[in-house]
Amino acid sequence: MPNNLCSRRHLLQSSAFGLSSLGAAWLMKQDGLLAQETGAPPKPPLEPLHFDLLPKRPPHPARAKAMIS
């Protein structure tokens, strides 16, 4: 009986390549690395960015009473 069907190894290899490319595309979309879906490119900021390096209050009060070093 001739074996016209693909082998189990070939089937798993080809499906793994397809799944890995789908996974890579999904991860790139999550990180925003794919092309934008809208036709207009994003506009660059017109004013310089300002980073405030002053100390800020913590969002929650500290609960630690001691530190082990």
Reading the chain (69 residues) residue by residue, the pLDDT tens digits are 456 677 878 877 777 777 888 888 888 888 877 766 667 777 888 888 888 899 999 999 989 888 887
By the 10 Å C-beta count (0-12 exposed, 13-18 middle, 19+ buried), 23 is classed as exposed
Rounded to two decimals, what is the model's pTM? 0.35
Provide the pLDDT for residue 1.
Answer: 47
Longest dimension (CA), the chain: 79
